Amino acid sequence: MGSFKGHALPGSFFLITGLWWAAKQTFLYATRRNKSAGAGRLASRATQRRIEIIEGAVILSFSIIGMLAEQLLAGGPKFQLYDSSTQHWEQLMNWQHTTMYLFFAIAGAISLTVHSTDIAPLALDRMLLGLAFFNEGFLFLYHLHGRDMLDVHVHTLLLYAIFGQAFICLLEVFHRGNILLELLRANLTILQGSWFWQIGFVLYPPSQVKWDQTDHDNSVFVTLCYCWHLAFALLTVAVVYWSVLCAVRSRLRRIPPMEMGLLKPRKKEVESEDEIL
Amino acid sequence: MGSFKGHALPGSFFLITGLWWAAKQTFLYATRRNKSAGAGRLASRATQRRIEIIEGAVILSFSIIGMLAEQLLAGGPKFQLYDSSTQHWEQLMNWQHTTMYLFFAIAGAISLTVHSTDIAPLALDRMLLGLAFFNEGFLFLYHLHGRDMLDVHVHTLLLYAIFGQAFICLLEVFHRGNILLELLRANLTILQGSWFWQIGFVLYPPSQVKWDQTDHDNSVFVTLCYCWHLAFALLTVAVVYWSVLCAVRSRLRRIPPMEMGLLKPRKKEVESEDEIL
Amino acid sequence: MGSFKGHALPGSFFLITGLWWAAKQTFLYATRRNKSAGAGRLASRATQRRIEIIEGAVILSFSIIGMLAEQLLAGGPKFQLYDSSTQHWEQLMNWQHTTMYLFFAIAGAISLTVHSTDIAPLALDRMLLGLAFFNEGFLFLYHLHGRDMLDVHVHTLLLYAIFGQAFICLLEVFHRGNILLELLRANLTILQGSWFWQIGFVLYPPSQVKWDQTDHDNSVFVTLCYCWHLAFALLTVAVVYWSVLCAVRSRLRRIPPMEMGLLKPRKKEVESEDEIL
Amino acid sequence: MGSFKGHALPGSFFLITGLWWAAKQTFLYATRRNKSAGAGRLASRATQRRIEIIEGAVILSFSIIGMLAEQLLAGGPKFQLYDSSTQHWEQLMNWQHTTMYLFFAIAGAISLTVHSTDIAPLALDRMLLGLAFFNEGFLFLYHLHGRDMLDVHVHTLLLYAIFGQAFICLLEVFHRGNILLELLRANLTILQGSWFWQIGFVLYPPSQVKWDQTDHDNSVFVTLCYCWHLAFALLTVAVVYWSVLCAVRSRLRRIPPMEMGLLKPRKKEVESEDEIL
């Protein structure tokens, strides 16, 4: 994975996931807030469950694809861990990435189970998502031995986003349905995604000019750059939030709310899973 | 910004902000507590909103002024980031300060939006204020490479106040309207402001005598001095709290509470934004 | 305790404890959730108390046995702390292990007292369990001076599980009866147990081939291995959770719930201790 | 203060304070729990206020005495901070201890104000107590430069107790009246007190034999010793808790509860300050 593509790929995944989370959570928040105006019909509890199940399935399948790619593609260890002839471990970096994917696969599988059955409390999905992020950060933390100064620095900055996500998932276990935490998580996921791209550009620049890995000024610039990525992620989440909110409202304005209120005055179903907690 | 003025300026800003926050939060707290005595008239919900909107606008405009000053004043990079001729980054320190101001500008703009519309939850203003403080501390943290021992030490002490503010803003997201947290935030803001002045005096003393940057005794004295600044900030907040409380009470005593109770017994408006949460 | 057996023994204890906690907490959770279906009869409040008392007694007696073994078995200091003739402390490592056991003995004794009398709040048992884990981690932290790199690394990894358990016990003081925290605690206990076994295999391998204590690749592999132990612990807890839940449900299906509802409609006893809080 | 007495004195203060807190909090807890049995008469709200006011006054006066002693006794700087002739700071260590006392004086004064007037929320006393402990730990942290290994180690261990107390005070701001937190605070205060005595014995042993400040075995033993102090503090708090609880119960048994219930069935006063929150 020591290549430009190897960083752009997970970066794109996280970018898409972050955008999706921002849109999904805003949508659910808007329907919760406008329930009296008939927004419940936009996202009934069954629809929500289906969304969560699909999300879990997508995360699970992409993680499995990632694990297989890391193992089987050119240069992968092909599920062999130890080479007895040379007495060396085989491709430990690929095994690390496989393990990162493994925990996201577990989180996806559990999310799938939690939302398709009623066997476990809902908050379990966030706890395992948090564990997956923590595990990712944990492996990155012990991943940096003996690299160049700038290389270590850009990966250290990445850890802020990753451990931030893990911490927010833990908070969500206790404060489920808090839109601020949900948007902050989406925000940090976008930050992680765009920063993966930035790492690719810094360590494996497409142009001829290489970055001086030991120049302190480069390290200062990279820190600054990280803050700008964060500002960009904030802007992105704000735009997504605003668009989804407007879309839900304009959709609601087109539905005559009175009629519904008259026809089904007693139908009182729980619209949102989060409110059950 | 490596000058006495460059530290006195943000110091003054933070001092004024801290004093303003102490006064504002005490005033809102006093009206909440004395609502039955008619204090609601002193600060109706509309007035509160207006105060918050003005505060957001002031923070936003001052941050923009700060950004422009950092870029355009003598020695600024004038929005040029990279000098291709010398292959060096341009004035990274000014860019760092610009970025710090940028996040306060974002926090101001969001606060303005949150309080002038109902598009987002109120607690968003505190979350972005916390993010702005965190970002300030984050940049200061990676700001200290290769400086003298005393210089590093005075800036490290500053970080306690800055990260303390960020942490308290995070707590306020969940415990909004807790007067103790609000006063502690004002307190740390005053501490940060007065410490900026102290840094100016230590690193760029107006008198001829320079401080020995490597003497350990100076470092011990500076640590002590930081505690005295904290005690001074506590005293200032206590005086402001006491004065505002007395002013509200004396004002209320002059309003005949009975009359109001008789004339408008049914008028029940939500006086404080924070209670809606 | 510097031997394979010395690590396998506590490892087995923690493994068994973790499995027991996963089963116990799931069982209590299942009875709480299915109370309306008559699950209260499976675990009345008296039964729960008895389980907790037995648990406390078992922890207390095993800890005392551990303390005596550390002191009296071959090579132990036999309660002598200082050898005046050589002017050296006697067997400090045995004394460290004795102290670790001591705090678990205290936690067991307090749990016994809390559940057999009503003299103190229930949450005290978790607080002292957390203190016992914290103390274990604290002693391990100051235990690593001057060892080989790999030796330090495997014990550092152990600290994540131990301090994680302490932190979760602290959270449980405030969020008692949260099944997610309880399962996470069981999970980390199993992780700690299986990792003790792994440490035994790494530092005192039964085969002839010794691990190279200074090879960085070994250290990377061991970090990876820790993540796999965590995944294995997650799987184990999930299997236990699933089995216990199915057992409770199948048991409930065999009890005619109607009859009970008809015969004792007014008997309303508090089924679970945790609900009292 | 670099003497045996200089450590025994604050040690004794903290020991007494810890014992007092354990007794006071248990007493208030017992009256809260047995209110229906007439325990309210043992500690009416007025009595509680009086106790808190006396406590605040005692802390305030002892802190002022401590400040004066540090300044005026033999070797003190007599309020002179800078010696212009030698261009050196005067007795910075005494000034550090004066500053530690200053913050406890502030906490005492605020506690006095909070409980004798209704000008501020009750939780303010805990917040400033936490700040005083934090300040103490903060100054100790920057206090250790250039000392011997064992000297640094015993003071580092002290920091665990001090920052633990600060953290618990912060938790108490949000969970006021939680007996477990209150007892843990008393526990850590006793630990801090007895550890001050231990530091005195280690650094300034009364006997002829000095401790070898650089022997690693001594450092290991001291860590162990710290755990035993903690166990001893736990035991002390347990004994105090048990005695006070028994005393309250035996006292209540001697009061005929029926009579009171019959004579004053409507008198409903708020017994405990903490319940108002």
Question: What is the per-residue pLDDT across B210-269, written as a single tens digit (0 to 9) for each?
Answer: 788 778 888 889 999 999 999 999 999 999 999 999 998 888 887 665 544 444 444 444
**What percent of chain A shows pLDDT beyond 70?**
88
- A-contacting residues of C 143-162, CB under 8 Å? 160
Res C146 pLDDT > 60: yes
CA distance, residue B70 to nearest chain D CA (Å): 34
Q: C124-134: b or e for each residue (b if 16 or more CB lie within 10 Å)?
A: bbbbbbbbbbb
- In our burial notation (b when 16+ CB lie closer than 10 A, e otherwise), range C252-264 reads beeeeeeeeeeee
**pLDDT score of A269:** 43
Closest residue by Cα to residue C151 from C209, C219, C207: C219
CA distance B119 to chain A (A): 8
Mean pLDDT by 10 residues, chain D (277 residues): 79 94 92 72 79 93 90 78 75 88 95 90 93 95 84 93 96 92 96 95 82 83 94 96 92 66 44 45
pLDDT the model gives residue B2:
67
- Which chain A positions have a beta carbon within 8 Å of B163's beta carbon? none
> Where residue C37 falls among pLDDT bands split at 50, 70, 90?
low
- Asked if A167 has any chain B CB less than 8 Å from its own CB, the reply is no
Other chains touching C, judged by 3 or more CB pairs under 8 Å: A, D
Out of D92, D106, D128, name the one closest to residue B220 (CB).
Answer: D92
Q: Which residue on chain D is closest to C104 by alpha carbon?
A: D231
pLDDT value at position A207? 77
Q: Which two tokens stand for residue D219?
A: 């450092």
Contact C139 D223 (CB under 8 A): yes
Which residues of A, range 119-138, sit inside 8 Å of C by Cβ? 119-121, 123-124, 127-128, 131, 135, 138
The number of residues making up chain D comes to 277
State mean pLDDT over C14-36.
Answer: 89
CA D103 to chain CA mean position, Å: 13
Per-residue pLDDT at A259: 47
Tokens of A163: 């451990």
CB pairs under 8 A between B and D: 51
Chain D residues touching C96 at Cβ < 8 A? 220, 224
Residue in B119, B121, B142 closest to A180 by CB: B121
The nearest CA of chain A is from the CA of B226 a distance in Å of: 28
Segment C39-57 shows an average pLDDT of 82
Cβ contact, residue pair C135, D230, below 8 Å:
yes
Q: What is the pLDDT of residue D11?
A: 92
Q: What DSSP letter does each residue of chain C carry, written as one string?
A: --SHHHHHHHHHHHHHHHHHHHHHHHHHHHHHHTGGGTGGGTS-HHHHHHHHHHHHHHHHHHHHHHHHHHHHSTT--TT--EETTTTEES-HHHHHHHHHHHHHHHHHHHHHHHHHSSSS-TTHHHHHHHHHHHHHHHHHHTT-TT--HHHHHHHHHHHHHHHHHHHHHHHHHHSTT-HHHHHHHHHHHHHHHHHHHHHHHHHS-SSSPPP-TT-HHHHHHHHHHHHHHHHHHHHHHHHHHHHHHHHHHHHHHHS-HHHHHHH-SS------HHHH-
Helix spans in chain D (H): 4-33, 45-72, 92-116, 124-141, 149-174, 179-203, 216-254, 257-263
| CA closest to B126 among chain A residues | A180
Helical (H) or strand (E) element with A52: helix A45-72
How far does C17 lie from chain D, in Å, by closest CA?
Answer: 23
Which of A21-30, A210-219, C93-102, C131-140 is the least confident region?
A210-219
pLDDT more than 90, % of chain B: 52
Strand partners, A88: A83
Per the model's pLDDT, the better-predicted residue between B193 and A9 turns out to be B193
Could you tell me if C89 lies within 8 Å of chain A, comparing CB atoms?
A: no
pLDDT confidence band for B177 (50 / 70 / 90): confident
B-interface mutation test, from D89, D97, D110, D167, most B Cβ less than 10 A away: D89
| Least confident interval from A216-220, B182-186, C160-164, C265-269 | C265-269
Give pLDDT, residue D270: 42
Indicate the residue of C175, C221, C245 with minimum beta-carbon distance to A89: C221
pLDDT surpassing 50 at residue B127: yes
On whether the CB atoms of residues D27 and D248 are closer than 8 A, the answer is yes
Q: Does B2 contact chain A (CB < 8 Å)? A: no
Strand partners, C83: C88
**Least CA distance to B244: which residue of chain D?**
D119
Q: Do C180 and A139 touch (CB under 8 A)?
A: no
D neighbour chains, 3+ CB pairs within 8 Å: B, C
Q: Is C220 near chain A, with CB under 8 Å?
A: yes
Q: What is the pLDDT of residue A266?
A: 43
- pLDDT tens digit string along B90-114? 788 889 999 999 999 999 999 999 9
Look at residue B272 in the predicted model and tell me its pLDDT: 46
User: Which residue does chain A place closest to B102, by CA atoms?
Assistant: A231
Say if the Cβ atoms of C217 and A127 lie within 8 Å.
no
Chains in contact with B, where contact means 3 or more Cβ–Cβ distances below 8 Å, are: A, D
D65 touches chain B (CB under 8 A): no
Which of C102, C124, C142 comes nearest D220 by C-beta?
C142
Which residues of chain B does D88 touch, with a Cβ-Cβ cutoff of 8 Å? Answer: 217
D268 vs A240: which has the higher pLDDT: A240
- Per-residue pLDDT, B42: 66
Q: What is the pLDDT of residue B62?
A: 92
Contact in structure between C195 and C134 (CB atoms under 8 Å): no
Alpha carbon distance D171, B259 (integer Å): 43
**Cα of C153 to nearest chain D Cα, Å:** 19
Say which of C88, C96, C139 has its CB closest to residue D217.
Answer: C88
Distance in angstroms (rounded) separating the CA atoms of residues A23 and A159: 25
Tokens of D197: 């005595």
C175 interface with A at CB cutoff 8 Å: yes
What pLDDT digit, counting tens, does each position of A91-120 carry? 788 899 999 999 999 999 999 999 998 888
Which has the higher per-residue pLDDT, B44 or A222? A222
In 3D space, the residue among C70, C187, C59, C84 whose CA is nearest the CA of residue C139 turns out to be C70
**Contacts of residue D146 in chain B, CB cutoff 8 Å?**
216
Partner-chain residue, chosen from C218, C223, C231, that has the shortest CB–CB distance to A106: C231
- A121: its two tokens: 């409390």
> How distant is the Cα of A65 from the closest Cα of chain B, in angstroms?
36
For chain B, say whether A245 makes contact (Cβ under 8 Å): yes
Confidence class for position B193, pLDDT limits 50, 70, 90: very high
pLDDT at B174 over 50: yes
Query: Tokens at residue C269, please?
Result: 């006893």
D170 touches chain C (CB under 8 A): no
Q: Quote the pLDDT of residue A40.
A: 63
Task: Please compute the mean of the pLDDT values over residues A70-76 and round it to a whole number.
Answer: 79
Do D188 and D165 touch, CB atoms closer than 8 A? yes
pLDDT band at A1 (very low <50, low <70, confident <90, very high): very low
For chain B, the average pLDDT equals 85
User: Which residues of chain A neighbour B123 with C-beta distances below 8 Å?
Assistant: 180
Query: Which of D103, D145, D173 is opposite residue B231, by nearest beta carbon?
Result: D103
Interface touch B135/A242, C-beta < 8 Å: no
